[in-house]
């Protein structure tokens, strides 16, 4: 059994909860309240800025040219493909570029990005990959699952979103990270593998929280945002 099979098995109940979440199902069935999607897009835009930094860090920590260059590709794909989709959605949804850039981070966005950056900055490349893998892998899985819902890919509002995450390009990125995780896990002790598993499970939990935050438009409970 590969290390990622073990990770997948452990995280499955959390991932299932994400797949079944009304936010995710609402995208697939085209029934999601547009205000919730706008909230998600704005928060996800902030999240992706930090995510791009993680990929830059991956390139820095990579010990061979192939790893460095694939992280550079992931960095480019985040900044110029994925964030571009967000910019296009924002403009279609009536969110100006200035408004998008001025978005304030919700607590879950801050916590999730901060956790990944913290783990990756002080840890090894294996820690970084364990932290970013659920995001890339679970989005590909969600995109693929939603693309099978009749009409999901053609939906006027959410079709593009589903199409992007179900795309072959994203599948290849996820596969590459899975292979890299298995290579980096080779020769590690059980205690080291358990530590990587904990990181993977934590970011899987944050993925669920991100859907839930968006569904509930959850900002700070102090109600003091300007
Ligand atoms: C909360 C949240 N989690 C995961 C992704 C998906 N994602 C982030 S980076 C990346 C790989 C290359 O761009 C993918 C698929 C997202 N957008 N938002």
Instruction: Give buried/exposed letters for 127-163 (b at 16+ CB in 10 A, else e).
Output: bbbbbbbbbbbbbbbbbbbbbeeeebbebeebbebbb
- What average pLDDT does the structure give for the chain? 96
Q: Closest residue (by CA) to atom 5 of ligand 1?
A: 135
Q: Which domains does the chain have, with CATH numbers?
A: 14-215 (1.20.910.10)
Query: How far is residue 24's CA from residue 158's CA, in Å, rounded to a whole number?
Result: 11
Pocket test for ligand 1, best of 23, 48, 213 (most atoms within 8 A of CB): 48
Sequence-separated (6 or more) residues with CB below 8 Å from residue 131: 54, 115, 116, 119, 120, 199, 200, 202, 203
Mean pLDDT of 64-74: 94
pTM comes to: 0.96
pLDDT tens readout for residues 160-205: 999 999 999 889 999 999 999 999 999 999 999 999 999 999 999 9
Mean pLDDT of 124-152: 97
């Amino acid at each position: 059994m590969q290390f990622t099979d073990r990770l997948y098995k452990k995280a499955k109940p959390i991932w299932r909860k994400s797949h079944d979440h009304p936010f995710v199902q609402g995208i697939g069935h085209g029934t999601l309240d547009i205000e919730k999607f706008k909230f998600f897009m704005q928060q996800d835009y902030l999240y992706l800025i930090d995510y791009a930094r993680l990929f830059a860090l991956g390139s820095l920590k990579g010990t061979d040219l192939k790893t460095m260059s694939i992280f550079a590709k992931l960095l480019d794909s985040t900044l110029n493909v994925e964030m571009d989709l967000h910019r296009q959605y924002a403009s279609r949804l009536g969110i100006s570029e200035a408004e998008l850039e001025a978005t304030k981070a919700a607590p879950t966005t801050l916590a999730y990005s901060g956790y990944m950056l913290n783990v990756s900055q002080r840890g090894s490349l294996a820690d970084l990959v364990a932290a970013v893998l659920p995001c890339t892998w679970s989005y590909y899985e969600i995109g693929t699952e939603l693309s099978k819902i009749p009409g999901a890919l053609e939906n006027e509002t959410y079709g593009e979103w589903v199409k992007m995450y179900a795309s072959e390009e994203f599948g290849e990125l996820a596969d590459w990270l899975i292979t890299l995780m298995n290579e980096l896990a080779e020769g590690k002790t059980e205690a080291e593998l358990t530590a990587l598993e904990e990181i993977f499970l934590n970011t899987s939990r944050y993925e669920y929280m991100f859907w839930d935050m968006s569904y509930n438009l959850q900002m700070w409970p102090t109600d003091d945002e300007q």
